[in-house]
Amino acid sequence: MSSESTEEKKKEKPRPVTPWTMLWNDCKQWNKNHSFATVTTAGFAVLNIVLWIILACFGHTLPLKALNTTLSEFSIGKLLVSLILTRGVVQMLGCALLIVFVLAIAESRMGVGRTVVVGLVSALGGIIVGVGLCYGIGLAYQDVSFMARQQFSLSPVVLVIGALMAASAFSDTLMRRRIRLIGYIAILVVLLYGGNPGDYCVLAAALIGQIIGRVQAGAPKRRVIPSSQSSEITNGVRPWQFGSVAETRRLFGAIAAIMALGPLTAITSPNHAGPLSTLGLLMSPDYVDNISLADCLANNTKQGCFLQFDLLRVSMPGGVLRSLLPTAVLLVLAWGVYRGRRFAAIGTVAVNILQIFITVVYYLIIPMTFTDGSFSVLARHGAMFACITTALPSLLFTIALIMSMNRFNIAIGWRRLANGVIVMVVAFLACAGLFLIYGLSNPAAFKPSVTAETLLGELPGRFLPIGFLHFSGLSFEPKTLVASVVFQGVGLVFWLVVLIVMLRWMQDATKENEAIRERAGRLVELGGESMSFMATWEGNEYWLSSSKRSAVAYRRVNGIALTCTGPFGDPSEWESDLREFSAYCSKQSLVPVFYSVHREQRDYLLKSGWHSIEVGGEMVVDPRSWKTTGKKWQDIRTAINKAKREGITDVYSTFADAPFDVREQIEDISAEWTSDKALPEMKFTLGGVEELRDPRVKLLYAIDSEGRVLGVTSWMPTWRDGRLVGWTLDFMRHRTDSPNGIMEFLIARMAQRLHDEGEADPQNAVEFMSLSAAPLAGMNPERDNTDENGNTSESMVILQHGLQLVANLMEPAYGFRSLFNFKRKFQPAEEPVYVCYRDSAKLAQLGLAVVRAYVPSVTVKQAVGMMKTLGGSRK
């Protein structure tokens, strides 16, 4: 019997859950919840591979070009096959990722049956409507035959895009906006600048799917705002919610990204039948062939000249690169618009005005030089219509952006702006000077030999990737390798400098305001929570209330304003601080996240429509009732008695008041502790040696009879109305060879000291001694993370699970869970702390922000070192 019971115990013993086990279990659970998406994707991949093998036996090679069809020689068979069969491996992999992503979203919101029906109906309708749109575009450009000759095929995207857009109708407001915005951006970038007839089918299928979803799901439910809270609303939107300012910035940023990606799409597209394809080609490195333009205009019977003129010839690799770098600069401007930067908005307006000017010059001014100013010829050849359709999107976007300029109020600073302009001017002068000096000193390195006049004439072309400037083609070309490098490289170097400067301008300005930081340090002494003193640490930014009597400390991490606990200062202002700080973040294009707040503030935010999740438990001891009697305190008594026997004493001091050799030993102990970790020392809510230097922070360190510091703890003060009411444990370090129980000894001695001080002066007795909260440790999924009906939202579960995964990944390197269990030895009261967030769509960004806040300087090598510790045993 004994052997059987032993066997049963072995079976019942749970296996330790490693991060890899969690990831594997997550994958299995995800596959179980989205089995239709995974099975369909796998079937799609297998079917393509099998068909490729069969076609290879008949002599067909990848990429498959036989799938193309045209409207003039329309083949329904090829068209239907192209819905399933891809051209090659790259397209198959891209489509597979898209299919599993789209079907996972649709399946979870609409179910398998509805997803299949909506996808097929949308695809069929999209093909019919898309082909009709192609004929309509041809009629508008007066050349149906040109559209009919365009070779095209479909893709599996047509089969699933309708289901995705239909599923958006069953999503919450934020996710619905993101699905539609990202989806239509991707479609329009390809359609407007490429014009493949199959792209029109994708757009039509998406629109049909969205209509079907709206009919099935009904109109979106709008939240009714109680009249009691109407005073907190500005222009119909709560200022601390996902406000209209942020939505406007996102919309304009997305449109700016479309305009930026246009040239790249245009030069890579096999077709040039999109409404903006000409504009995209004009912004490319290609040179306009004005002879073809003249021939086109001279033949009065030839229609659709301006549509057919969207043909491309790439001259040199340097020209291609020179076109990609301006595109990258435009994307940086779009990112700046998304982040609310005023300079980015002004720059985007300037670029669009330039595009409008280019369009007018290309379609009207240049052709008039060949037609003696005759507008009738231009109208007959479709130039007027092409000019209007090409310039109209840029014109409307420019007008809308100018009218909304007050939404982009984040300045980059005149000093940074001036420094950047100086760098760009110097770079341009240096590159231009190099080109001219080299050409004048080596005229024979070019064919034909160059002169000062020809060099100056070619100089703009070395920097501007605009084809219409090159009316007469190249005046000369390089003959030698060095000449070719100079000829093509000067513009490339200049645009690299511009790109770096623009990236610098668009970054967050993180200059620390010492005056504000000093004021925040004084506000902490007015009032705050047990961990509010962390707000005084270096690396925080500060928001001050309008009264300047309260503040919020936060860190900008990947667009997240991650607070360091809640507001501090005047206790009567914390409710308004939560609202006003959130409104401030919205104006700054930041997502506010309140980290490590306590129940009272969490409950207020929940009533305001926020979400929360418990991220740990703070261990709090009341020193007024401190005692170490009873069986539960055996470990603590043992540690105290052992220290006495070995002649170890505790010293209460500040870092500045400690002897020099003690300060050196403390720094050595900290360095030794840090070097023993796979990752660098953590920050954010975990202090280091630098945080010990504040004279308000107290140290309690253990020292032996030989003067060796064996362990050290630091304690942060907490005030209420200017009176000291508590101390919070922060810094904990000990030597690797220090006796067991040294940290138990120090914490117990601190509690005993506070108890004795309270006994001696009851009026000023400290009310609490907090052992702080180990980051991401002690999370309780079943406690305080449900609504009044006992339900837990899916987004909350995802975030909680993600944070737990992060905690497990870091556990071998930092031992948070061990620290959490260690603090339980002191029989504390456990008070949960929360992270509160408004935007459920930012969960992944939030989790990454927490990791980056704690470990901002992690490198690849250090991360690899941490991964090695995951498989090792812990001592």
Q: What is the CATH number of the domain that holds 126?
A: 1.20.1540
Which range, of 125-129, 162-166, 503-507, averages the lowest pLDDT? 503-507
- 229, HSE (Cβ side, Cα atoms, 13 Å): 14
DSSP 488-506: HHHHHHHHHHHHHHHHHHH
**Is 870 within 8 Å of 23 (Cβ atoms)?**
no
> Residue 595: is its pLDDT beyond 80?
yes
Last residue of a domain, one of 469, 494, 509: 509
DSSP state of 361: I
Within a domain: 67: yes
> Residue 231: is its pLDDT beyond 50?
no
Pair 201, 310 in one domain: no
pLDDT bracket for residue 42 (50, 70, 90): very high
CA quadruple 619, 624, 630, 632: dihedral, nearest 10: 0
Q: Which of 598, 642, 806, 822 is nearest to 732 (CA)?
A: 822
Name residue, tokens 């979106």: 220
Pair 254, 207 in one domain: no
Residue 364 amino acid letter: L
The predicted pLDDT at position 873 comes to 35
Return the higher-pLDDT residue of 396 and 20.
Answer: 396
> Residue 793: is its pLDDT beyond 60?
no
The predicted pLDDT at position 147 comes to 62
C-alpha 149/C-alpha 70 separation (Å) is 6
pLDDT bracket for residue 860 (50, 70, 90): very low
The three-state secondary structure class of 830 is: strand
Q: Which of 571, 529, 533 is nearest to 696 (CA)?
A: 533
**Is 344 within 8 Å of 407 (Cβ atoms)?**
no
**Is 488 within 8 Å of 316 (Cβ atoms)?**
yes
Name residue, tokens 């084809």: 467
Pair 216, 358 in one domain: no
Within a domain: 124: yes
Pair 411, 308 in one domain: yes
Pair 84, 171 in one domain: yes
Per the document, the length of the chain is: 875
C-alpha 190/C-alpha 210 separation (Å) is 19
Within a domain: 70: yes
* Angle of helix 599-607 versus helix 574-587 axis, rounded to 10: 60
pLDDT bracket for residue 498 (50, 70, 90): confident
Within a domain: 266: no
Within a domain: 732: yes
Average pLDDT over residues 121-126: 91
3-state SS of 690-727 is HHHHCCCCEEEEEECCCCCEEEEEEEEEEEECCEEEEE
Q: Which of 604, 558, 552 is nearest to 581 (CA)?
A: 552
DSSP state of 389: H
Q: What is the pLDDT of residues 143-202, one digit of tens each?
A: 556 666 667 778 888 899 999 999 988 886 667 877 887 788 778 777 777 767 778 888
Pair 504, 633 in one domain: no
Pair 391, 486 in one domain: yes
**Is 424 within 8 Å of 500 (Cβ atoms)?**
no
Average pLDDT over residues 42-64: 85
Return the higher-pLDDT residue of 170 and 821.
Answer: 170
Give the pair of three-digit tokens for residue 797. 């579960």
**Is 520 within 8 Å of 553 (Cβ atoms)?**
yes
pLDDT bracket for residue 221 (50, 70, 90): low
Give the pair of three-digit tokens for residue 71. 């409207």
Pair 214, 338 in one domain: no
Q: Which of 109, 110, 119, 122 is nearest to 40 (CA)?
A: 119
569-to-486, 523, 533, 552, 566 alpha-carbon distances in Å: 61, 5, 11, 9, 10
The predicted pLDDT at position 225 comes to 37
Return the higher-pLDDT residue of 769 and 451.
Answer: 769
C-alpha 474/C-alpha 681 separation (Å) is 59
pLDDT bracket for residue 206 (50, 70, 90): very high
Residue 495 amino acid letter: W
Average pLDDT over residues 544-568: 90
Return the higher-pLDDT residue of 430 and 261.
Answer: 430
254-to-203, 299, 562, 566 alpha-carbon distances in Å: 17, 41, 25, 33
> Residue 866: is its pLDDT beyond 90?
no
Phi, psi of 216 (to 5 degrees): -75, -40
Cis bond before residue 19 (omega within 30° of 0): no
**Is 280 within 8 Å of 189 (Cβ atoms)?**
no
C-alpha 330/C-alpha 321 separation (Å) is 14
User: pLDDT averaged over the chain?
Assistant: 76
> Residue 322: is its pLDDT beyond 70?
no
pLDDT bracket for residue 367 (50, 70, 90): low
Q: Which of 147-151, 181-185, 329-333, 511-515 has the highest mean pLDDT?
A: 329-333
Q: Which of 500, 461, 497, 468 is nearest to 318 (CA)?
A: 461
- Those residues with Cβ within 8 angstroms of residue 634's Cβ, 6 or more apart along the chain or in another chain: none
Give the pair of three-digit tokens for residue 558. 């990947």
Q: What is the CA radius of gyration of the chain?
A: 34
Q: What is the pLDDT of residues 347-366, one digit of tens each?
A: 889 888 887 887 777 677 76
Return the higher-pLDDT residue of 322 and 67.
Answer: 67
User: Based on the number of CB atoms within 10 Å of its own CB, is 155 exposed (0-12), middle (13-18) or buried (19 or more)?
Assistant: buried
pLDDT bracket for residue 489 (50, 70, 90): confident
The predicted pLDDT at position 579 comes to 92
Per cent of the chain over pLDDT 90 is: 20
The predicted pLDDT at position 43 comes to 92
Which range, of 347-356, 651-660, 816-825, 849-858, averages the lowest pLDDT? 849-858
Last residue of a domain, one of 509, 528, 559: 509
Which range, of 188-202, 559-573, 652-666, 746-760, averages the lowest pLDDT? 188-202
Number of domains into which the chain is organized: 3
Return the higher-pLDDT residue of 159 and 320.
Answer: 159
Give the pair of three-digit tokens for residue 554. 């936060």
446-447 and 541-544 strand pairing: unpaired
The predicted pLDDT at position 703 comes to 93
768-770 and 611-621 strand pairing: antiparallel
Average pLDDT over residues 537-561: 88
Could you give the maximum distance between any two Cα atoms of the chain, in Å?
110
> Residue 728: is its pLDDT beyond 90?
yes
pLDDT bracket for residue 803 (50, 70, 90): low
Phi, psi of 592 (to 5 degrees): -75, 135
pLDDT bracket for residue 261 (50, 70, 90): confident
Pair 296, 438 in one domain: yes
Pair 707, 737 in one domain: yes
Within a domain: 60: yes
Last residue of a domain, one of 467, 486, 509: 509
Q: What is the pLDDT of residues 680-720, one digit of tens each?
A: 566 777 777 888 888 999 999 999 988 889 999 999 999 98
Which range, of 258-262, 270-274, 508-512, 591-595, averages the lowest pLDDT? 508-512
Pair 358, 477 in one domain: yes
560-563 and 591-597 strand pairing: parallel
The predicted pLDDT at position 173 comes to 65
Return the higher-pLDDT residue of 583 and 185.
Answer: 583
Q: What is the pLDDT of residues 753-768, one digit of tens each?
A: 999 999 998 888 999 9
The predicted pLDDT at position 550 comes to 93
Pair 216, 246 in one domain: no
Name residue, tokens 């895009």: 161
Cα of 628 vs its chain's centroid, Å: 50
**E strand or H helix at 837, and its extent?**
strand 829-837
The three-state secondary structure class of 379 is: helix
Average pLDDT over residues 225-232: 37
CATH of the domain at 638: 3.40.630.30
CA quadruple 467, 469, 472, 473: dihedral, nearest 10: -40
Domain of residue 354 covers: 241-259+290-509
Within a domain: 797: no
The predicted pLDDT at position 272 comes to 59
**Is 200 within 8 Å of 126 (Cβ atoms)?**
no
C-alpha 476/C-alpha 470 separation (Å) is 12
Average pLDDT over residues 212-216: 91
